[in-house]
Amino acid sequence: MSRIAAALLALGMCVPMAGAFAQYPAKPIRVIVPWPAGGTVDGVARVIGPKLSEGLGRPLFVENKAGAGGSIGQAEAAKAPPDGHTVLLVFDTHAVNHLLYKNLGYDPFKSFEHVSLLVTSPQVLAAATNFAPGSVPELVAFAKANPGRVTYATVGAGSSNHLNALLLSNRTGIEMTHVPYKGGAPMMIDLVGGQVNVMFVSAPQAIPQVKAGRIKALAIGAARRISQLPDTPSVAEMLPGFAAQSWVGMLVPAGTPKKIVARLNAEATKALADPEVRGKLDAQGFDVVGSTPEEFLAFARAESEKWAKVIRDYNIRVE
């Protein structure tokens, strides 16, 4: 085959691919949320979903694929065609699961393209209403007097609320008993019902329950108080430097064309800038971010490095 013929053939092969870019999206967008309905990540998906759908010009449907700290849904998303029609929303466990599970079926950095860090949120140290302590000092005093009696809920070993509870225990010298759940919604149900004593939970999940009087807010895991719960002190007021944060980001399978990643990033940024969307997220306790793909990747890597040390120091293992 001559060089000219080969070049023409290669050009011909590129035309359909270029057409695919131009036609994107060509069908409805599948959004995988690797957590149960009613949790933090699901809530973000439901708020930004309509605006994303409007911007992309295609229907968008959310699929909840929960289990194993979010890794089941992530593994499924990693195997999806890299054509931009499968989008994954992840929680902060995205940066730590590979440090805990031996056979995830994906690599958090090699198996995905990072699209955007959508939102962050301080975690709230919340307690059941039938739990006597009403502040961090009271919790510490009770736990020291009753080692191992205080139960704390998490969405699983190595999750941010698990790691933050361990850090709190270390800083205050207390011992609490870990009770893992498969997601934020069932965890909250048991806290409201008084089956567990305390937990670190994202502000969007905690705020409505606190305002309804179903749970108590002992402290905010941020450097300062938040406007939604102005009377609740920050943990940092008692433990300088302590911070507990959750975050939600958007990924697509590795190999997704850069033009499609850029389009999704642009639409996510537009959705987050919409006054109605931003208002809903602000009211729920989220801090809107809307990063570039490069910024999100760097952020996720930094989170992974930070928690790797904690996991090693505490010898955390998934049961």
Q: Using omega within 30 degrees of 0 as the cis cutoff, is the peptide bond preceding 34 cis? A: no
pLDDT tens-digit readout, 160-183: 889 999 989 989 999 999 999 988
Regarding the domain with residue range 28-120+246-314, which homologous superfamily does it belong to in the CATH classification? Bordetella uptake gene, domain 1 (3.40.190.150)
The pLDDT assigned to 27 comes to: 97
Q: What is the pTM of this model?
A: 0.80
Instruction: For residues 290 and 266, give the distance between their C-alpha atoms in angstroms, rounded to a whole number.
Output: 9
Which residues, in sequence order, are bridge partners of residue 245?
Answer: 122
CATH topology identical between 28-120+246-314 and 122-237: yes
- What Rg, from alpha-carbon coordinates, does the chain have? 21
| Domain-wise residue ranges, the chain | 28-120+246-314, 122-237
Q: With a cut of 70, which residues of the chain have pLDDT below it?
A: 1-22, 319
Question: How many Cβ atoms from other residues are within 10 Å of residue 245's Cβ?
Answer: 18
pLDDT at 38: 85
Is there a contact between 60 and 91 (Cβ–Cβ < 8 Å)? Answer: no
With b for 16 or more beta-carbon neighbours within 10 A and e for fewer, the 190-216 pattern comes to bbbeeebbbbbbbbbbbbebbeeeebb
Instruction: Kindly state which CATH superfamily the domain 122-237 is placed in.
Output: Periplasmic binding protein-like II (3.40.190.10)
φ/ψ (deg, to 5) at 234:
-85, 150
- All residues at 6 or more sequence positions from 283 whose CB lies less than 8 Å from its CB, including other chains: 228
**Listed residue (56, 68, 5, 6) closest to 31, CA to CA:** 56
Q: Report the pLDDT value the prediction gives residue 266, as an integer from 0 to 100.
A: 98
Model confidence pLDDT, tens digit, residues 30-72: 999 999 898 889 999 999 999 999 999 999 999 999 888 889 9
Nearest to 289 by CA among 280, 276, 279, 278: 278
Q: What is the pLDDT of residue 122?
A: 92
Question: What's residue 13's pLDDT?
Answer: 46
Measured over the CA atoms of residue 260, residue 61, residue 290 and residue 111, the dihedral's sign is negative
Question: Residue 14's pLDDT is what?
Answer: 46
* Angle in degrees, CA 260, 262, 264, rounded to 5: 70
Helices then strands, counting H and E runs in the chain, come out as 11, 10
